Structure 1
Amino acid sequence: MNSLFGLIGYPLGHSFSKRYFTEKFEQLDLQDSHAYTQFEIPTIEDFPALLGTESIKGFNVTIPYKKQIIPFLDEIDPAAARIGAVNTIKILPDGRTRGYNTDYFGFQGTLKAWPAYPHFKSLSALVLGQGGAAKAVIAAIEDLGIPVIKVSRQAGEGVVAYEALPQLMESVGLIVNTTPLGMHPNEAACPPIPYELLRGQHYLYDIVYNPLETTFLRNGLAHGAGGIHTGIEMLYGQADKAWEIWQS
Structure 2
Amino acid sequence: MSQDRFHLAGVMGWPVMHSRSPLMHGHWMEELGLRGAYLPLAVPPDGLKDALRALRPLGFAGVNLTIPHKQAALQIVDEVDPVARRIGAISCVALREDGSLFGTNNDWRGFLGNLRQNAPGWHPGAGPAVVIGAGGGARAVCYALLDQGVPEIRVVNRSRERAEQMNRDLGGGLKIVEWSQRDAVLSDAALVVNATSLGMVGQPELEIDTTRIDTRAVAADIVYTPLETRFLTELRGRGVTVVGGLGMLLHQGPPAWTLWFDRTPEVSVALTEKMQRDITEKL
Normalising to structure 1: TM-score of the pair? Answer: 0.88
Matched to 1:39, the amino acid is L
1:21 maps onto 2:25 in alignment? yes
- Measured in 1, the distance between the counterparts of 2:105 and 2:128 equals 24
- Measured in 2, the distance between the counterparts of 1:38 and 1:50 equals 15
- Measured in 2, the distance between the counterparts of 1:130 and 1:178 equals 8
- SS across alignment from 1:184: coil
How many residues are aligned here?
A: 242
Matched to 1:214, the amino acid is T
- Measured in 1, the distance between the counterparts of 2:71 and 2:31 equals 32
The correspondence of residues 49-198 of structure 1 with structure 2, limited to 5 A, is 49-113=53-117, 114-118=119-123, 121-146=125-150, 147-156=152-161, 157=164, 159-186=176-203, 189-198=204-213
Runs of 4+ in structure 1 deviating by more than 4 angstroms, as ranges, are: none
Q: Provide structure 2 residue ranges, at least 5 long, that are not aligned to the other structure.
A: 165-174, 263-283
- Measured in 2, the distance between the counterparts of 1:211 and 1:108 equals 20
Question: How far apart are 1:29 and its partner, in Å?
Answer: 1.2
Cα 1:129/1:225, change in 2 over 3 Å: farther
Give the corresponding residue for 1:38.
Answer: 40
Q: What is the RMSD computed on CA atoms of the aligned residues? A: 2.0
Question: How far apart are 1:151 and its partner, in Å?
Answer: 0.7
Deviations 1:89-138 (A, max 9, x none): 111112121111111111112223422213x6331111111111110011
Q: 2:251 aligns with which of 227, 230, 237?
A: 237
- SS across alignment from 1:127: strand
Q: Quick check: 1:3–1:35 contact (8 Å CA) kept in 2?
A: yes
- SS across alignment from 2:256: helix
Identity percentage over the alignment? Answer: 33
Question: How far apart are 1:48 and its partner, in Å?
Answer: 4.4
Cα 1:170/1:15, change in 2 over 3 Å: closer
Question: How far apart are 1:225 and its partner, in Å?
Answer: 5.5
Q: Quick check: 1:198–1:225 contact (8 Å CA) kept in 2?
A: no
Matched to 2:216, the amino acid is Q
Q: Provide structure 1 residue ranges, at least 5 long, that are not aligned to the other structure.
A: none
Matched to 2:182, the amino acid is L
- Measured in 2, the distance between the counterparts of 1:172 and 1:70 equals 34
Q: Quick check: 1:109–1:237 contact (8 Å CA) kept in 2?
A: yes
Cα 1:196/1:170, change in 2 over 3 Å: closer
Q: Quick check: 1:126–1:175 contact (8 Å CA) kept in 2?
A: yes
- SS across alignment from 2:191: strand
- Measured in 2, the distance between the counterparts of 1:17 and 1:193 equals 31
Question: How far apart are 1:221 and its partner, in Å?
Answer: 2.9
- SS across alignment from 1:8: strand
Question: How far apart are 1:77 and its partner, in Å?
Answer: 2.1
- Measured in 2, the distance between the counterparts of 1:41 and 1:195 equals 40
Deviations 1:57-115 (A, max 9, x none): 11111111101011111212221111010111111112121111111111112223422
Give the corresponding residue for 1:209.
Answer: 224
Matched to 2:225, the amino acid is N
- Measured in 1, the distance between the counterparts of 2:146 and 2:23 equals 32
Normalising to structure 2: TM-score of the pair? Answer: 0.78
- SS across alignment from 2:148: coil
- Measured in 2, the distance between the counterparts of 1:151 and 1:167 equals 11
- Measured in 2, the distance between the counterparts of 1:233 and 1:38 equals 20
Q: Quick check: 1:203–1:225 contact (8 Å CA) kept in 2?
A: no
Deviates more, 1:147-156 or 1:54-63: 147-156
Cα 1:162/1:221, change in 2 over 3 Å: farther
- SS across alignment from 2:126: coil
